Amino acid sequence: MRFRHGHGLFTVLGALLLLAGGALRADENTWKVGTAKAKITPEPPMYLAGYGGRDKAADSTLHDIWVKVLALEDARGNRAVVITCDVCGISKRTYETVCAELKKRCALERSHILLNYSHTHTGPALAECLQDYCDWDDAARTRIRQYTRWLEGTIVEQAALALAQMTPATLWMGEGRTDFAVNRRNNKEAEVPAIRERGEPLRGPVDHSVPVLAAKTPDGRLRTVLFGYACHPTTLAITQWSGDYAGFAMLDVEKSHTDVQAMFFQGCGADQNPLPRREIKLCRKYGDMLAAAVEEVCRKAMTPIAPSLRTAFQFVDLPFERTMTADDFSRYVSQGGVYGRWAQRMLKSLRAGQPFPQSFPYAVQVWRLGKNHLWISLGGEAVVDYSLKFKSLYGPTTWVNGFSHDLTAYMPSRRVWNEGGYEGGFLGEYGLPAMRWTPDLEDRITQAVARLVEKVK
């Protein structure tokens, strides 16, 4: 089914709202919105996440990193939270811990919790996530584990705080565009600057859209701006804490609007890089470009979202192409590095009598905001094909993001799976006991999304 723009009374009301500059009377039927945020920049010496082989801890801060929360309640009292976090990813254990605590403390079910991580590669390493990337000693692993447990508690605390201080608000949506994301599978990094200078098109699928959700006070003042983009935050490979281009974009938006909380969510950017890169001035430039796209959306007439929220969630069983054996792992040990450490850890588990699973429970979530705005959130590093596919299936008021729930692994489309290469497999880097999914994983994910769309329509 394709969701279309509303008609009749809703359209007339929307036109009146736009003519009024976005203001609503406080006694009208509106959303309730709450926000909260906490700085999560690590203080003790700690290692960064995202790149394998890092042997040096962070030594300073380019800009602070944050956990931010937007709490929503519709006209019928249905509640949900959007949580954004400036980290590379979180483990399934951390995701399960946060969901369990929010259920116990705030009565939120899993479908009500949209936990998205920006995937910055200049954020802190976390426990049980990409744990074989570096050869950390026991003291470093202890600090990482302690920080992770603190972060879990901080996420829960901020979500509870946002829910506790909700007040009447209106919600608005719009979409902008910026083009610094490049399909890294189809373009050689060294060639991109020259291609851009010649004004030639780059190759491969991309999603340059910038979805924007704005919360306003009943009298029309901007309160919160949530925006997304599909691109790896890998501009930087330095040893300074930062949120990469997304961090600079949030800072830019907040500088332009007093008392506004800016939040970034990562789209389906698993196969997208900001190119060229590796310079702070480029990172600032890309942040400025993203912020400018957001500002342009906020300056124009945005579409009002009726105060209606429906949520659905499902774990999809995704089989591994082949679960590895002790003989397989023994061959990897001699490689050293990420895969050598991974193989040693896997062999240790086998010798302890711990059997390996044949599949993984993959998290898929769908929200419907208002009459026809779908928001699809996928776990792990989803490639751009998923965003383009679901927008085609469900219409232009559909948003799609990856990098939610737990980090899982690379989530290739069937096209990328067939092509092979880095994003087509390499599950071992994420600690899974296999190297590839079965080739039908896109079909399984697509079918799950279709079921959840039916539930929220």
**Predicted confidence (pLDDT) per residue in 296-315, tens digit:** 999 999 999 999 999 999 99
- Residue type at position 177: R
Q: For residue 180, what is the enclosing H or E element?
A: none
- 266, 230 in Cβ contact below 8 A? yes
- Asked whether 136 and 264 are in contact (CB, 8 A), the reply is no
Which residue's structure tokens are 């060294």?
Answer: 190
Report, as an integer, the average pLDDT of 180-203.
Answer: 95
Mean pLDDT of the chain: 93
8 A C-beta contact, residue 380 and residue 409: yes
Instruction: Dump pLDDT digits (tens) for 47-83.
Output: 999 998 788 899 999 999 999 999 999 999 999 999 9
How many Cα atoms within 13 Å fall on the side-chain side of residue 367?
Answer: 23
Q: What share of the chain in percent tops pLDDT 70? A: 94
Residue type, 356: F
Once rounded to an integer, what is the mean pLDDT over residues 4-33?
Answer: 47
Structure tokens at 422: 């880095």
Burial letters 203-223, b for 16+ CB under 10 A, else e? eebbbbbbbbbbbbbbeeebb
Residue 386 has what pLDDT? 98
In this structure, the number of other CB atoms found within 10 A of the CB of residue 120 comes to: 30
On the question of pLDDT at 25 being above 80, the answer is no
Are 260 and 217 within 8 A, CB to CB?
Answer: no
How many CB atoms are located within 10 Å of the residue 92 CB? Answer: 18
pLDDT for residue 26 is more than 60: no
Percent with pLDDT over 90 in the chain: 91
Concatenated DSSP letters of 22-78: T---TTS--EEEEEEEEE----S---B-SSTT--S---EESS--EEEEEEEE-TT--
Q: Is 410 helix (H, G, I), strand (E, B) or coil?
A: strand
Least confident of 18-27, 61-70, 102-111, 135-144: 18-27
Residue 130 tokens read as 């990409």
What is the predicted pLDDT for the residue at 45?
84
Contact 152, 85 (CB under 8 A): no
Rounded average pLDDT over 305-331: 97
Containing 101, the helix (H) or strand (E) segment is: helix 92-106
How does pLDDT run across 87-118, given as a tens digit for each residue?
999 999 999 999 999 999 999 999 999 999 99
Q: If you average pLDDT over residues 137-158, what whole number do you get? A: 96
Report yes or no: 210 and 292 within 8 Å, Cβ to Cβ: no
> Across residues 277-285, what is the average pLDDT?
97
Residue 14's pLDDT is 39
Q: What is the mean pLDDT of residues 36-44?
A: 94
Distance (Å, whole) CA 401 – CA 330? 37
pLDDT, residue 21, reads: 41
pLDDT for 287 equals 98
pLDDT of residue 6: 37
Letter for the amino acid at 369?
L
Quote the pLDDT of residue 28.
53
